[in-house]
Structure 1
Amino acid sequence: MANVIVNRVLEFLRRYPPFSFLGREELERVASAVEIHYLEKGELLFNQGEAAQPHFFVLKEGSVELIETKAGKEEIQEICDEGDVFGVLALLGKRPYVLTARIAENSLIYSIPVEIFEEVLEKNTKVALYFAAGFASGQVVVRQDLSQGQKARGVFKAENRDHSLLIFSDQSEIKISEKVLTCRPDTSIQELANQMSEADVSSIVVSSEKGFPLGIITDKDLRKRVIAQSLQTSALASEIMSTPVITRKKESGFSDLYLTMIKNRLHHLILTEDGSDQSPVCGILSDHDVLLSMGNSPAVLIHGLMNTLDVKEMRTIRDRAEQMLRYYLENEVAMDFVASIMTEINDVIIRQAVKIAESNLKVEYPEFKNTRYCFLSMGSEGREEQLLRTDQDNALVYEDVPEKLKEKAAEYFLKLGTSIVEVMLACGFASCPGDIMASNPEWVQPLSTWKNYFSKWILTPTQDALMRASIFFDFRAVTGNTGLAEELSLHIYQEVQKKQAFLSFLAQNALANPAPLGFFRNFMVEKSGEHRDQFDIKARAMMPLTDLARLLVLSHGVIGVNNTFKRFERLAELEPNYEALFTQAGKAYEILMRMRALEGLKEGDSGRYIHPENLGKLQRQLLKNTFSPISELQEIVQVRFQLDYFR
C-alpha cells in the first residue's frame, strides 16, 4: 500500500516543475518523504511572521490563498492552484513567513522536508535555478531577478538541434583567421598583390611598425582603384587603402562582431588586442567566413534586399526574415541582437522603397532633386523594437521651401511618402489604424510645421496631444537628411524645458495602465469583445514600460535615446539609487518583446493578445514576474511628479 501511495505522489509531482527536472531516482526519494495533509476551508497552514517550518508545500487538490497583512488590512497576493509550490522561505533562507497561507477550498497538500530537498538542490542546477528565478508561488520580494528568469527559460526549454539558420552567441562557433596578411604603407601595389595571390586571401591589412592597423586593401579595392583607374602598380599601399579602419577586440561576443559588420557594411573586420586601432592586429573576420558558417544569415537577407528593387522579391526576403526571427527567439539569442537585426532589415526595405519612389518621381518633379527631407519611423519601429510586421507608424519631414514652391513641394513629398508606404504594405507591414503614415498629408510636412505640431502638443497637453506624444516622441530618422530630425529633436527638448508641467501630464498618461495583475494576482484580461478573456500584452505590460521609460528620459533632458531597454540602461546610469530597478525594467521589457513575438509567429498575427490558459506554469510565472517593475516605477512617478495634486 505504501508503494502505491509513493507512486501516486511521484506521478503527480513529475508533471510539475521543479520536480519535472528530477531523474527517477531523485524523484522517488522526494516522493517517499512526502507527508500528505487534508485541510478544510478556513484553516491556516502557516501565518505571516511565524518561523519557517522545516518543509515546503505543493498543492495537490483544492485552493490556497496567500495573504499579506499590512496595517491590519489583509490583501490576497496570490491564489495557488494544482501543482503550485509555496512556503519556500524555509528552503531559500530560513526566514519567517512573509505571507499567511489560508485554505480557500478543502485541500490536499503535499509537505516536502527541506532536508531531503537540499540534497537535490546541490546536485540539480535546474531545480536551483527554478527557485532563484522566483517561479515558486507567493515569493513576495522587493524585486525578482529577471535575469535568472531569462536564463531559466533557456535552460528549461528542449534543446533545438536545427542549424538551418545558424546564429551563434559567441565566436567559439566560427573560425576567425588569426594569420593576418599585413604590409607597410610604403609597399607597392605590385608587391602586395603578389603577397595576396601567394597567400590566396582576399585582403591585406596595412599596418604600422608596431603592427597597428592603418588601413585595409581588398580584391575589390584592386579592381576599383587600380585596374579601373589605370593606376600604376608601382603606386603605394597608402594611396589605395581604405581608412580609417573599424576594429574590435577578438574576445568580443560574436553577435557584437557580426552586428558591427552588418551595420558598417564591412566585408572584413579587423580584430586587435585591445579592440582599438592603437593596438596590434591579431585576427580578421570576413563575411565569407560568416556565410560559410551561417547559411541563411542576416547578411544574406540584407545583401539580397540591397540588390533588388523588385517589391515581390523584397516581400519574399522579408518572409524569410520571419523564419530567421522564429529561430532566434526560440533559441534565446540575445534580444538586443535580434532587435538590431530586424530593425536593420526593416530599414533596408524602407531605403529601397525610397529609391523606387524617387526614381518614379524624378522626371515629374526635377526641382526637388536637392531638397532636403527625412523619412521618420515612429512607435515600435522608431524605438527599434518592431520584430513582427505590425502597424507601421511613419512620417516625412522636409526643409521649408520658398513660397512659390510650397504647394508643389507638398504634392511631391506626399506622393513620395505614399509610394514608400505602399512598398511597405506590399512587403507585409500592416497599415496604421490611426492613419499615422507618410501617405497622410497631415504627417508629410515642412520642418516649421513639425515644430509647430510639437510646440502645440507640449503647450496644450490634451488627451489627444498626449496620445500623439506617445507615438511621435519616439521618432527615428531612417533615411534622408538626418540633420532635419536632429533639429526637430532639439526643438522638442527646448519646448519641454520651457513647460515642465507637460511632464506631469505625460506622467498621468503613463499611469493610465496599472500593473497588470488583478485582485487575486491573476492576469487582467479583456472583459468583453473580440478578445474577451485574453491578456493584452501590449497595452497592459509593454506600453506602461515604454511610457515610463520615455517620461523619465525626457525628464532628464536626454536626447537621441529612443529604444526602451536602452532608455532604462541610461536611466540606471543617471539614477544609481534605482539602478537595480531600471535594470529589471529593461529585462522585463525584453522578456515581453520575446513573448509577444513568439505568440505572433505561432498565431500568425501581431501577438498582442495572449490566452493565459495556454501558457505553461513557467511561462505564466515568468510573465507575472515582469510586472513587478511596472508597479514600482509607477509608484516612483506618482510621487516624483506630484500626481496626487492632479486628482
Structure 2
Amino acid sequence: MANVIVNRVKEFLRRFPPFSFLSEPLLLSVAREVEVQFYAKGDFLFHKDDLPRKHFFIVKEGSIHLTEKREGKSVVLEFCDEGDVFGVLALLGKRPYILDACAAEDSLVYGIPVSVFEKILEENQRVSLYFAAGFASGQVVVRTDLSQSQKARKLFSLPSQDNGLLIFTGQSDLNYSKNVLTCEVGISVGEAAKMMKEKDVSSIIITDTSKFPIGIITDKDIRNRLVAEGKNFDIPVESIMTQPVMTMQENSGFSTLYLAMIKNRLHHLIITADGTDKSPITGILSDHDILLSQGNSPSVIIHALLNTLDVKEMAKLRDKAEILLSYYLENEVAMDFVANIISEINDLIIKRAILIAKEKHDPAHPAEKNTKFCFLSLGSEGREEQLLRTDLDNALVFEDVPTERLADVKSYFLLLAEEVIEILLACGFHPCPADMMANNPRWCLPLSEWKGQFSSWILSPNQEALMHATIFFDFRAIAGQKDLAEALSFHIYDQINEKKIFLNFFAKNALLNPPPLGFFRDFIVEKTGEHRDKFDIKLRAMMPLADAARLLLLSHRVVGINNTFRRFEKLAELEPQHESLFLEAGKAYEILMRMRALEGFKSQGSGRYIAPGSLGKLQRQLLKNTFAPIDEIQKIIRVRFQVDYLLS
C-alpha cells in the first residue's frame, strides 16, 4: 500500500516543475519523503514573520492564498492552485515568511522536506534556476529578476533540431579571414591587382604608413571604377578605393558584426584590434564567409530582395523571413537581434515597393516626381517591434511646395502610397482597421501641415489627440529624405517644451491600462466577443510598458530611440536611481514580444489574445513576472507627472 501511495505522489509531482526536471530515481526519492497535509478552508499554513518550516509546499488539491495585511484588511497577493509551489523561504533564504498562507478552500498539500531537496538544488541547474527565476510563489524577493527568467526559459525550452541556422544562436564559431591582404597608399592599382591574383582573394585593404586601414578595393571596384571608365592601371590605389571603411572589434559578437553588415549593405567588414580605424587589422569578415557557413539566412533574403522588383517573389521572401523568425523564437535567439533582422527585411520591402511605385507613376508626373518626401512607419513597426505581419501603420511627409502646386503634389504621393500599400498587402501584411496609412489623405501631408497636426495634438490634448500621439510619436523614417522626419522630431520637442503640461496629460493616458497583477484566475480577460475569456497581451501588458517608455524618454528630450527595450536601456543610463527597474522593464517587454509572436505562430493570427488555460505553469509564471515592473513604473509616473491632480 505504501508503494502505491509513493507512486501516486511521484506521478503527480512529475507533471509540474521543478519536479519534472528530476530523473526517475531522484523523483522517487523525493516522493518517498513527501508529507501529505490537509487544511480546511480558513486554516493557516504559516503566518508572516513565522520562522521557516522544514518543508516547502506544492498544492495537490484545492487552493491557497498568500496574503498580507493592509490597513487592517487581508489582501491576496498570490493565488496557488494545483501544481503551484510556495513557501520556499526555508529553501532559499532561511528567513521568516513575508506573507500569510491560508487555505481558500479545503485543500490537500504535499510538504517537501528541505533536507531532501538541498542536494538536488546544488546539483541540478534547472531546479536551482527555477527558484532563482521566481517561478515559485512567496519568495524572499518581491520583484523577481527577469534576467533569471530569461535564462530559465532558454534552459527549459526544447530547441529546434534544425542546425542549418545555428550561426544565429551564438553556438557557432565566428569564421573570418585572419590573413588579410593589405597594401599601402601610393602603389598602383595594377600592382594591387597582381597581389590579389597571387593570393587568390577578391579584396585588398589599403592602409596608411602606420598599417591602419583607410580604404578597400574589391574585384567590383576594379571592374566598375577602372576598366569600365577606361582608366590606366598605373593610377594609385587611393583613386578608386572605397573609403572610409567600417571597422569593428572581434569581441563585438557575431550578431553585432552581422547586423552592421546587413544595415550598411556591406560586403566586407574589417576587424581591428580595438574596433577603430586607428588600430592594426586583425581580420576581415565577408558576406561570402557568412553564406558559406549556412544555407539560409537574412543576408540571403536581403540579397534576393535587393535584386527583385517582382511582388510575388517579394511575398515569397517575406514568407521565408517568417520561417527564420519561427526558428529564432524557438531557439531563444536574443530579441534585439531578431527585431533588428525582421525590421530590416520589412524596411527593405517598403523601399522596394516605393521603387516599384515610382517606376510605374513617375513618367506621368514629371513635375512632381522629384519632390522630396519621407515614408514613415508608425506604431510597432516604427518601434522596430513588428515581428509578425500584423496591421500596417504608416504615413508620408513631403516638403512644402507653393500653394498652387500642393493639390497635384499631394495627389501624386497618394497615388504612390496607394501602390505601396497594395504591394505590402500582397506581401502578407494587413491593412490598418483605423485607416492610419499613407494612402489616407489625412496622413499624407506636407511638412508644415504635419507640424500643425502635431502642434494641435500637443496644445489640445483631448482623448483623440492623445490616442493619435501614442501612435504617431513612434514614427521612424524608412525611405526618402530623412531630414524631413528629423525636422518633425525637433518640432515636437520644441512644442512640448512650450507646453510641458502635455506630458502630464500624456502620463494620464499612459495609465489607462493598469497591469493585471493578480493571479491567473483573476486576470483581466475579454468579457464578450470572439476573444471572450482570452487575455489581451498587447493591451494589458505590452502597451503599458511601451507607453511608459515613450513618455519618460520624451520628458528627457531624447531623439532617435524608438524601440521600447532600447528606450528602457537609455532611461537606465539617464536615471541611475531607477536603473534596475528600467532594465527589468526592458527584459519584461522582450519576454512579452516573444510570447506574443509564439502565440501568433501557434494560432496563425496576431498573437494578441492568449487563452490562459493554454499556458503551462512556467509560461503563466513567466508572464506574471513581467507585470511587476509595470506596476512600479506606473507608480513613478503617477507621482512624477501629478496624474492624481488631473484626475481630480
TM-score bin, normalised by smaller chain = over 0.9
CA drift at 1:12: 1.3
2:100 maps to a residue whose letter is T
In structure 2, C-alpha distance between the alignment counterparts of 1:462 and 1:168, rounded to whole Å? 46
In structure 2, C-alpha distance between the alignment counterparts of 1:500 and 1:281, rounded to whole Å? 50
In structure 2, C-alpha distance between the alignment counterparts of 1:419 and 1:320, rounded to whole Å? 23
TM-score by length of structure 1 reads 0.98
Matched, 1:585 2:585: yes
Residue 436 of structure 1 corresponds to 436
CA gap of 1:405–1:228, structure 2 versus 1, over 3 A, is: same
Residue 37 of structure 2 corresponds to 37
Question: Aligned with 1:164: secondary structure?
Answer: helix
CA drift at 1:140: 6.9
The one-character-per-residue Cα deviations of 1:195-239 (angstroms, maximum 9, x if unpaired) are 211211111111233331111111111111121112222222222
CA gap of 1:520–1:373, structure 2 versus 1, over 3 A, is: closer
The one-character-per-residue Cα deviations of 1:422-449 (angstroms, maximum 9, x if unpaired) are 1111111100000000110111111111
In structure 2, C-alpha distance between the alignment counterparts of 1:243 and 1:557, rounded to whole Å? 34
CA drift at 1:3: 2.5
CA drift at 1:495: 0.5
Q: Is the 8 A contact 2:368 2:408 kept in 1?
A: no
In structure 1, C-alpha distance between the alignment counterparts of 2:464 and 2:409, rounded to whole Å? 28
Q: Which moved more, 1:177-186 or 1:327-336?
A: 177-186
In structure 1, C-alpha distance between the alignment counterparts of 2:519 and 2:617, rounded to whole Å? 19
Question: Aligned with 2:624: secondary structure?
Answer: helix
Question: Aligned with 1:261: secondary structure?
Answer: helix
Q: % of aligned pairs identical?
A: 62
Matched, 1:309 2:317: no
Residue 251 of structure 1 corresponds to 251
Residue 466 of structure 2 corresponds to 466
Matched, 1:347 2:347: yes
In structure 1, C-alpha distance between the alignment counterparts of 2:363 and 2:218, rounded to whole Å? 38
2:203 maps to a residue whose letter is S
In structure 1, C-alpha distance between the alignment counterparts of 2:598 and 2:165, rounded to whole Å? 17
Residue 379 of structure 1 corresponds to 379
Residue 234 of structure 1 corresponds to 234
CA drift at 1:523: 2.3
TM-score by length of structure 2 reads 0.98
Residue 447 of structure 1 corresponds to 447
Residue 129 of structure 2 corresponds to 129
Residue 619 of structure 1 corresponds to 619
Residue 558 of structure 1 corresponds to 558
CA drift at 1:374: 0.6
2:508 maps to a residue whose letter is Q
In structure 1, C-alpha distance between the alignment counterparts of 2:520 and 2:477, rounded to whole Å? 44
The one-character-per-residue Cα deviations of 1:311-330 (angstroms, maximum 9, x if unpaired) are 11111111111011000111
Residue 596 of structure 1 corresponds to 596
In structure 2, C-alpha distance between the alignment counterparts of 1:210 and 1:109, rounded to whole Å? 73
Question: Aligned with 1:265: secondary structure?
Answer: coil
CA drift at 1:18: 0.5
In structure 1, C-alpha distance between the alignment counterparts of 2:459 and 2:256, rounded to whole Å? 42
Q: Is the 8 A contact 2:92 2:140 kept in 1?
A: no
Residue 263 of structure 2 corresponds to 263
Matched, 1:297 2:297: yes
- 1:23-34 to structure 2, matched below 5 A, reads 23-34=23-34
2:466 maps to a residue whose letter is L
Residue 275 of structure 1 corresponds to 275
CA drift at 1:554: 0.9
In structure 1, C-alpha distance between the alignment counterparts of 2:19 and 2:171, rounded to whole Å? 35
Residue 535 of structure 1 corresponds to 535
In structure 1, C-alpha distance between the alignment counterparts of 2:449 and 2:30, rounded to whole Å? 70
Q: Is the 8 A contact 1:171 1:254 kept in 2?
A: no
In structure 2, C-alpha distance between the alignment counterparts of 1:607 and 1:494, rounded to whole Å? 37
In structure 2, C-alpha distance between the alignment counterparts of 1:15 and 1:522, rounded to whole Å? 24
Question: Aligned with 2:340: secondary structure?
Answer: helix
Query: Unmatched 5+ residue regions in structure 2?
Result: none
Residue 159 of structure 2 corresponds to 159
- 1:17-416 to structure 2, matched below 5 A, reads 17-139=17-139, 141-170=141-170, 172-416=172-416
Question: Aligned with 2:305: secondary structure?
Answer: helix
In structure 2, C-alpha distance between the alignment counterparts of 1:276 and 1:584, rounded to whole Å? 32
In structure 1, C-alpha distance between the alignment counterparts of 2:260 and 2:119, rounded to whole Å? 46
1:83 maps to a residue whose letter is G
- 1:468-487 to structure 2, matched below 5 A, reads 468-487=468-487
The one-character-per-residue Cα deviations of 1:76-115 (angstroms, maximum 9, x if unpaired) are 1122111111000111111111111111222221111112
In structure 1, C-alpha distance between the alignment counterparts of 2:391 and 2:461, rounded to whole Å? 25
**RMSD of equivalent CA atoms:** 1.3
In structure 2, C-alpha distance between the alignment counterparts of 1:632 and 1:132, rounded to whole Å? 21
Question: Aligned with 2:503: secondary structure?
Answer: helix
CA drift at 1:174: 3.7
The one-character-per-residue Cα deviations of 1:150-190 (angstroms, maximum 9, x if unpaired) are 11111001232212344424484342211111111122222
Q: Which moved more, 1:472-481 or 1:189-198?
A: 189-198
1:430 maps to a residue whose letter is H
In structure 2, C-alpha distance between the alignment counterparts of 1:210 and 1:33, rounded to whole Å? 72
CA drift at 1:521: 6.5
Q: Is the 8 A contact 1:143 1:581 kept in 2?
A: no
In structure 2, C-alpha distance between the alignment counterparts of 1:231 and 1:353, rounded to whole Å? 37
1:233 maps to a residue whose letter is F
In structure 1, C-alpha distance between the alignment counterparts of 2:364 and 2:314, rounded to whole Å? 26
Q: Is the 8 A contact 2:64 2:105 kept in 1?
A: yes
CA gap of 1:339–1:387, structure 2 versus 1, over 3 A, is: same
CA gap of 1:459–1:472, structure 2 versus 1, over 3 A, is: same
Q: Is the 8 A contact 2:186 2:237 kept in 1?
A: yes
Q: Is the 8 A contact 1:496 1:502 kept in 2?
A: yes
CA drift at 1:250: 1.1
The one-character-per-residue Cα deviations of 1:490-509 (angstroms, maximum 9, x if unpaired) are 11111001111111111111
In structure 1, C-alpha distance between the alignment counterparts of 2:316 and 2:418, rounded to whole Å? 22
CA drift at 1:139: 3.2
In structure 2, C-alpha distance between the alignment counterparts of 1:475 and 1:323, rounded to whole Å? 27
In structure 2, C-alpha distance between the alignment counterparts of 1:455 and 1:181, rounded to whole Å? 56
In structure 2, C-alpha distance between the alignment counterparts of 1:251 and 1:407, rounded to whole Å? 54
Q: Is the 8 A contact 2:78 2:518 kept in 1?
A: no
Query: Unmatched 5+ residue regions in structure 1?
Result: none
Q: Is the 8 A contact 1:585 1:630 kept in 2?
A: yes
1:252 maps to a residue whose letter is S
CA drift at 1:4: 2.4
CA drift at 1:546: 0.6
In structure 2, C-alpha distance between the alignment counterparts of 1:268 and 1:410, rounded to whole Å? 41
In structure 1, C-alpha distance between the alignment counterparts of 2:166 and 2:153, rounded to whole Å? 20
Q: Which moved more, 1:562-571 or 1:174-183?
A: 174-183
Q: Is the 8 A contact 1:561 1:567 kept in 2?
A: yes
Q: Is the 8 A contact 2:520 2:620 kept in 1?
A: no
Q: Is the 8 A contact 2:166 2:172 kept in 1?
A: no
The one-character-per-residue Cα deviations of 1:237-275 (angstroms, maximum 9, x if unpaired) are 222211111011112210001001101111111101111
The one-character-per-residue Cα deviations of 1:564-601 (angstroms, maximum 9, x if unpaired) are 11111111111100000000000000000011111111
In structure 2, C-alpha distance between the alignment counterparts of 1:251 and 1:371, rounded to whole Å? 44
CA drift at 1:418: 1.3
